[in-house]
Structure 1
Amino acid sequence: MNLSTAKNLIEDILKSIINPDGSAATEKFSSLRDVDAKVREVKMILKDLPGDKNSIFNEFEQDVDFSANSRRVRLEALAHYCNTALRFLDTGVIHEKKLLVSAPDLSKLTSFLPDLDVIIQDRWLEAQKCQYAKAYLSSVIMMGSILEALLLSRSLMSQPEAFRSKSAPRKKDGSNIPINAWNLNTLLDVAVELGWIKTDRGKFGHALRESRNVVHPWAHVTTKADYDEATCKTCWHVLKASVDDLLNSIA
């Protein structure tokens, strides 16, 4: 259950147990059993709140007011916990749990370079951690490094084809420049030309490349880059789609 859903449910319950004048709505509950049904609802919501465990649920469980032989006392106690939970939700004391998604199986792409899979898997998680921590610049740089590593690995898997590409860089004498010396711009162009990633993906990949380039402070200053969560989400979609393309390009 996310925070928004929890908040809406608690607000609805609070309206049903308290009258507009602030008094307990005992007239809506004919028995203690009816009150207990609402108590269980709130208990389930508090128990399922996302993020770190908080003291609200423990206090709720131990409160003797819920054993009182009075609908009013139980409803007033319930309203107290509802209001407390809503305050916590509004102030951010209760944090939404951030789920980290592991990278897909990249073994077909990473097998060419020893230990690359472990590095990519770690960076895949780290990019998400940076985004959740609002370290957006670091997150984008991490995503760019992942894309570059996987494009490099894909090119090394098909070196003859990559070298024949019109986008492949060459020395003045026409000889090939080693693939491990290619930059991300070249890797993207070659991948698009050879159909390893879709053309539109390549365009967005270049946007990610330009964003990644602010790893250099001079580029950061001259481009006046100011990344936010929306930038990270866009780059993340580009990365995932590009990875899918690369995996599908391997027979």
Structure 2
Amino acid sequence: MTKNVNTLLLETEPFEPEGGGISGFSIEYLILNYNELAELPFEDISSCLKEFIMNEFIIQSADENIYSVTRKGKIARIIHLAEKKKLQPALKEQYNHNPEDLILALLASNKIDEWSQSSFTATGIGIYLHQHTTESINDAITILSSKNLMATEAPFRNDRFRITALGLQHYLSTVRQTLGLDSNTGILTPVAEEYTNDKFMNLPNLNDHIKENLNSRWSETEKCALSEAWLASVIMLGSLLEGVLLAVLEAAGKKALNATSAPKNRTSGNVKSIDTWTLQDYIKVAIELKLIPSSIEKHIHELRDTRNLVHPNKQLRENIIADESLYRISREVTETVIDALQQQ
């Protein structure tokens, strides 16, 4: 299964505006710390890094083993997250807001959504707020500091800024509402990746009731993932896969019923009603009808199997750990199926 290496790299810690505390990284570091990258060929990762060097997203050390992310590379991460709709609207469309408000929101983020970054450098702020000029950001920092709404971490770290008690009160009473953030959402709170009804509208011949159900299931999946409930996320993705295939095959009608792999009643020999088929049946018929590519059949059956983790005995017996890596793989399988179906 093809994975977007560029996307995976941009979402690693070294590309965070403050670098995640990592000044440099190697391919070995990426493989050892990110399971999705560990599953990819070494050559694919190396090729992507070469492309990033050409785009000036990273620079290579003299010994060619260590890479460092440039300001341009870190901004590329922010743009990427905006394109994937993972950024809060206030940060995605920051040009609509005063840099003073945005800076206070950044500094308050660790108080609101438990963001690990307790303070920010001017450089980091500038990367987050790349739609504003360096001059306007520096002016905003000067104004906020003069009003005692933010301060440096003197005497030890004069290059880092934190929010003051007065600044937090001002943020909670005024800025939060101005930026359209609710009490539980900080400006750095990731936005769930959601399929909208428009996405499901492209699936062939489905009524609105079915589309609403599919969209609701996707939203439930996102909520589970955002809470790091990986087991629930994987089970929901399996549920969504079954719902999508059932709906599309029912819409296909006689074409699905006449498929060679359509399950038959042992006694009568007649094809069973589609709504009584198993997920395995749905997958076989969908592949036979070329609704989804046969190249991903193995991965779809793996998702079908992980969906059965809803049964505790299966998970205990097979010692399967439902973690973020399993969720990401399962999600990619589901997205691949949906993308294939909407092209019919």
Corresponding residue number in structure 1 for 2:301: 206
Shift in Å at residue 139 of structure 1?
0.1
Question: Is residue 204–residue 342 contact of structure 2 (8 Å, CA) maintained in 1?
Answer: no
TM-score normalized by the length of structure 2: 0.50
**Counterpart among 105, 116, 120 of residue 214 in structure 2:** 120
Equivalent position SS for 2:160: helix
Question: Is residue 204–residue 251 contact of structure 2 (8 Å, CA) maintained in 1?
Answer: no
**Counterpart among 237, 240, 249 of residue 332 in structure 2:** 237
**Counterpart among 225, 229, 250 of residue 156 in structure 1:** 250
2: CA distance, partners of 1:77 / 1:149 = 59
Equivalent position SS for 1:98: coil
Corresponding residue number in structure 1 for 2:106: 49
2: CA distance, partners of 1:74 / 1:124 = 43
1: CA distance, partners of 2:155 / 2:142 = 9
Q: Which has the larger radius of gyration?
A: 1
Equivalences for residues 66-145 of structure 1 within 5 A? 76=154, 79-80=157-158, 82=160, 96-103=188-195, 105-109=199-203, 112-113=206-207, 115-145=209-239
Question: Is residue 107–residue 162 contact of structure 2 (8 Å, CA) maintained in 1?
Answer: no
2: CA distance, partners of 1:51 / 1:238 = 37
For 1:215, the aligned partner's letter is: V
Shift in Å at residue 108 of structure 1?
4.3
User: Which consecutive unaligned segments of at least 5 residues does structure 1 have?
Assistant: 13-41, 67-72, 86-93
2: CA distance, partners of 1:131 / 1:225 = 18
Corresponding residue number in structure 1 for 2:263: 169
**Counterpart among 3, 16, 25 of residue 5 in structure 1:** 16
1: CA distance, partners of 2:21 / 2:103 = 9
Question: Is residue 165–residue 193 contact of structure 1 (8 Å, CA) maintained in 2?
Answer: yes
For 2:192, the aligned partner's letter is: L
1:149-189 Cα deviation digits (max 9, x unpaired): 11001111112111111211101221111000111111001
Shift in Å at residue 131 of structure 1?
1.6
Question: Is residue 147–residue 239 contact of structure 1 (8 Å, CA) maintained in 2?
Answer: yes
Larger relative helix fraction: 1
1:175-204 Cα deviation digits (max 9, x unpaired): 111000111111001111110000122221
Is residue 323 of structure 2 the alignment partner of residue 228 of structure 1?
A: yes
The higher-RCO structure (CA 8 Å, 6+ apart) is 1
Larger relative strand fraction: 2
The alpha-carbon distance between structure 1 residues 45 and 183, as it changes in their structure 2 partners (threshold 3 A), is: same
The alpha-carbon distance between structure 1 residues 187 and 197, as it changes in their structure 2 partners (threshold 3 A), is: same
Question: Is residue 264–residue 272 contact of structure 2 (8 Å, CA) maintained in 1?
Answer: yes
- The count of residues paired between Structure 1 and Structure 2 equals 206
The alpha-carbon distance between structure 1 residues 75 and 240, as it changes in their structure 2 partners (threshold 3 A), is: closer
Question: Is residue 110–residue 150 contact of structure 1 (8 Å, CA) maintained in 2?
Answer: no
1:203-241 Cα deviation digits (max 9, x unpaired): 211111100011122222222221111111111111111
The alpha-carbon distance between structure 1 residues 225 and 151, as it changes in their structure 2 partners (threshold 3 A), is: same
Structure 1 vs Structure 2: percent identity of aligned residues? Answer: 23
Corresponding residue number in structure 2 for 1:215: 310
Q: What is the alpha-carbon root mean square deviation over aligned residues?
A: 4.1
For 2:106, the aligned partner's letter is: L
